Copies of this chain bind each other. A is one copy, B any other.
């Protein structure tokens, strides 16, 4: 399986938090970081279950809760606890076990994580331990582990303890109460409840082992034990099957978990894994992009696709994917625009039913958006910048303390309002590609129109035009600015789409149109107002230089040429400091360039696009992981292929090479989705025409071929894009 696997070899103790993140497994129901079964100093084990948020006392906002640790498996070899000590043991008189071999492999094709360790006990006996784990894609409430122990040298006595560890926190924040535990036969069970939101979780686990098994309720950690001997060269196999339910899934999660664990054990590890692998194969069959001519791009793209597929909810349309997916505590599991504009498009194109689930999450949260609009004195639906289970705004108002003890006011929850349009964009993109009229008529149109209602009430009539003051565009280094060209222009686009959609509904589905007109009060005056906004919205533009102006006064700020700061290993903001950066033209991420990505030629003629690129690209810090892939996409569209290739490589390294140094906190979901779009929409130029999907490729010079599938109106279309540059030398 070339270019489907990522290895850790040999053991890299100092990079464990990085590997915990990138080797996360998941099945759309939950994600589990790749912590060791036996634990490791400084590790950060986490299992995050979609929708299980809790607002703990003393915290500014709710967060996705770390579930009890189901990985817990402790092995002892001849009285030596199996543990990856990294301090060198005294070579003549070892005081603890010695790691003599190590390899960990994430098999992305099969959704399996495997660890092999060659370990010498202090007795001198040497064993090989092979751990395997997966979160079943076929049985989303089932988590499976297998441990094979081989006596490589000597005949050791092995004891194994299997637990469910309820003593877990989110980096010290306690979210669970009322822990109850049971141990019985080979089964252990744990139940707990979140402190504020009241969600109940139940986990039931069974151990299948060669020796006799005794189970204990334990204290916050039910556990079972077994013990056996191995002859030299003999291998023992132990399976641990865990089932998990919450009160979001079942009225009686405890009974459900116990029942499911018993059934799964009946099915057995091998059949569970076969079904799991078959499910993965089907997902890859749709979603894999194959790149010939660039092995690292191929691997990075599969890695990105894997990390979009594992958090995507399969059977639940009440949850969505947070910025760090289900792979870490970063951004507390909150849902941002990252989902709709970065993570969702690959699903829209290749797994439309999963995309629909994510959009339904927003539909179900319309009430929260309407409340946010009302609270701010507006009409319609104003989606929160950060969203959780409630749909209410959950952006914290203050940052964590800075080195000098101060906290910085966070304004995005107040003023980064473009998210309402981003969601409308995703709805329409989904509908146009899938032709899912059912979704549009019953859910999507209401999102598009009620967010349009919001904008109608939000714009300010000033200076004989419409303006939007106190905004934050994608470039978050410049807060509370007036007339973000990104936002203003996207609002025009949004209102145009809303009017068009209403016309289309009137024509094709008059009953639905009338229902929405009545429900959302889309009276003639309101629609006229929208037309007037479209007409008179202020789009900051410098006629002389023929460029869009990112916001009012942008060019009055100090100019700092970002390329002069290469090869920086920190953001320009960190180099200059936050206070000074806000007074410069250094921008955090694609902003005007993002507008170009979303609207393409509609932004302006070719010379304006090129001027925009030449203006904003050298000012961009890429201080956000969202930025490089969007730049790659736009550069590819502008024919700047070499630059696009460089930016693609930058984007590809954000998680895999830990370019930004923060993979510890979780996968950059938007960077993953951006990478996919940079290839499909950027390099391959995938777009919709009257006749359906088409490509307009502009591949990196060394890529020979890209092939991928997209769904168009329920049909799978296969594209093979060949690099014309490569044809001659290949022949």
Contacts and interface: CB of A to CB of B under 8 A. Distances in A.
Interface of A: 2, 9-11, 14, 91-92, 99-103, 116-118, 120, 126, 128, 150, 152-153, 233, 294-296, 403-404, 564-570, 574-576, 661, 702, 730
Identical chains in the assembly: 2
Contacts of A568: 100-101, 118
A91 B575 contact: no
Given A296-B295, A403-B91, A403-B92, A116 B564 contact: no
A567 B403 contact: no
Given A294-B295, A404-B92, A102 B567 contact: yes
Contacts of A118: 565-569, 575
A149 to B, nearest CB: 13
A22 to B, nearest CB: 18
B702 A101 contact: no
B120 A575 contact: yes
A681 to B, nearest CB: 24
14 contacts: A9-B567, A10-B569, A10-B661, A91-B403, A100-B569, A100-B575, A102-B567, A103-B566, A118-B567, A126-B575, A128-B566, A233-B564, A295-B295, A730-B730
Contacts of A404: 92
Of listed A9, A294, A568, residue having the most chain B CB within 10 A: A568
A128 B565 CA distance: 7
A152 B565 contact: yes
Contacts of A661: 10
Given A404-B92, A569-B101, A570-B101, A128 B564 contact: yes
Contact of A2 (B152, B403, B566, B702): B702
A387 to B, nearest CB: 33
Contacts of A730: 730
A296 B3 CA distance: 11
A569 B102 contact: yes
Nearest to A295: B295
A3 to B, nearest CB: 9
A120 B730 CA distance: 48
A100 B102 CA distance: 34
Nearest to A570: B100
A657 to B, nearest CB: 8
Nearest to A404: B92
Contacts of A295: 294-296
A586 to B, nearest CB: 12
A71 to B, nearest CB: 20
A454 to B, nearest CB: 41
A2 to B, nearest CB: 6
A593 to B, nearest CB: 23
A564 B92 contact: no
Contacts of A91: 403
Contacts of A99: 569
Of listed A91, A118, A564, A567, residue having the most chain B CB within 10 A: A567
A115 to B, nearest CB: 9
